[in-house]
Chains A and B, each alone.
Chain A
Amino acid sequence: MNKFVKLPLFLGGVSLIFCTTLAIVVNFCKPQMEKNEQKKTEEAYASLYEGEINILDLDEKYLDFKDYSQIKDLKKIEHEGKNSYVYSLTTQDPQSGTVSFMLGIDSEANKVDAYTVVANNNSGYAKQFENVDAVKDALVKYGDGEGSFYRTAGATKTENAMKYAVNQAFLHYRNNFMGGNN
């Protein structure tokens, strides 16, 4: 056979065989992979609260985050009869790295009731935040009166970025959910 016929024929044949097998295998694996993803997110949310949790549906209008650059996701979770809004936030500190964390706000008491750090690839600053309880001992007041400021013990740069992200979550919450809009 001519070289110019043999080459494309061969290459076409091999590509055909492999594309079909690859398509079969990928389609076979896809549903299982989606199940894995779902399980992982469920576990991430389950680590926030003890006991059983239930992820409820939220209206689309609440999930519009184009004004809030730090909020990545919002879910409404029901646990032990109470409803909470869990925000997934990432900080934006180009010097110290990014920290992803989740903040849960109780819808009735309007208080932060859960906090967990999901991922941080930070050189060491945000490690201070890993086991910090957002409600009990997150911030410590330094100084008195006019020149006072709040900071967490040790970290210097990252807590400003985290305060920014948390304040964005609060702003979103205030605009959407306060005043009985639950």
Chain B
Amino acid sequence: MEKQSKKSIFINPLIKENAILINLLGMCPVLGVTTSINNALGMGVAVILVLFCTNTFISLIRKWVPDEVRIPVFIVIIACFVTMIEYLMKAFTPDLASNLGLFIPMITVNCIILGRAEAFASKNTVVDSMLDGLGTGIGFLGSCLLLAFFREVLGTGGISFNNPFTGKQLFSFLPLEAIKMPIFVQTSGAFMMFGLILGVFFAIQLKIEESKKLKEKKAKENLAKEVK
């Protein structure tokens, strides 16, 4: 594996190798949590913190972990960090914690975190792992917010945002409330919207690749003409 530059380690997981939209990992909490932008934001921030902490710690101890117990040790570390975050959330953001419910402890078994720990953090330096954790987490947050935006706008008619620490409503802007379709804040609408977003995402990617290929072809032809 060639060494990647620090910038590409951070930028890659954002869009090109997005954990949810390209690698399709860890989709279960995404579908359950994106009923509103509040919940998506809370979940995304929690995942960023967990990824950052676990990646750092695992790459710190990577030289001393015996091979036989590698995966159980990783899981214990992830579970401890997730429990810490869960208690912090229950204490300081109780409304958000009760909305997210079971999905916070479920971060432990999210494929993204164990995948990043196994594939990246246990083989790279601390700084690289930190950047990778941040990048993956921000990519996760971005796709969660995208899905939550569409689901909430179609499902409740607009966006309403609460202060996570106190639970008070900061603002609510509901332009489309007359034609709201509550199916999109339920599970079947989650699958439909997720599928549509994936389809649009792949279509955009295909178009970008096609235009790139066209450009390369044209550059080759021009080169061939010049040579002649």
Contact = CB atoms under 8 A, between A and B. Distances in A.
Please tell me whether chains A and B touch each other in their complex, using a CB distance cut-off of 8 A: yes
9 contacts: A14-B61, A14-B76, A18-B80, A22-B80, A22-B83, A26-B87, A33-B90, A33-B91, A33-B94
Interface in A66-92: none
Majority secondary structure of chain B interface residues (helix, strand, loop or mixed):
helix
Given A7-B68, A11-B69, A14-B61, A32 B80 contact: no
A18 B84 CA distance: 10
B214 interface: no
Given A3-B66, A6-B66, A18-B80, A29 B73 contact: no
A115 to B, nearest CB: 24
Interface residues of A, number: 19
A36 interface: yes
Contacts, number: 46
Interface of A: 3, 6-7, 10-11, 14-15, 18, 21-22, 25-26, 28-30, 32-33, 36, 40
B76 A18 contact: yes
B64 A10 contact: yes
Interface of B: 61, 64-66, 68-69, 73, 76-77, 80, 83-84, 87-88, 90-92, 94
A11 B65 CA distance: 9
Contacts of B76: 14-15, 18
A3 B94 CA distance: 46
Nearest to A25: B84
A21 B80 contact: yes
A165 to B, nearest CB: 26
Contact of B90 (A10, A21, A28, A29): A29
Contacts of A15: 76
A25 B87 contact: yes
Majority secondary structure of chain A interface residues (helix, strand, loop or mixed):
helix
A25 B76 CA distance: 16
B73 A11 contact: yes
Given A25-B88, A36-B91, A18 B77 contact: yes
B107 to A, nearest CB: 16
Nearest to B89: A29
A29 B84 CA distance: 9
A33 B92 CA distance: 8
Contacts of B84: 21-22, 25-26
B155 to A, nearest CB: 21
Contacts of B87: 25-26, 29, 33
Contacts of A3: 66
Report which residue of B66, B69, B84, B90 has the largest number of chain A beta carbons within 10 angstroms of its beta carbon. Answer: B84
Contact of A7 (B66, B83, B90, B94): B66
A85 to B, nearest CB: 28
B66 A14 contact: no
Contacts of A11: 69, 73
Q: Which 6 A-B pairs have the closest CB atoms?
A: A29-B91, A32-B91, A29-B87, A18-B80, A36-B94, A25-B84
A14 B92 contact: no
A3 B83 CA distance: 31
A48 B144 CA distance: 38
Report which residue of B65, B66, B76, B80 has the largest number of chain A beta carbons within 10 angstroms of its beta carbon. Answer: B80
A32 B66 contact: no
B61 to A, nearest CB: 7
A14 B84 CA distance: 16
A40 B95 CA distance: 10
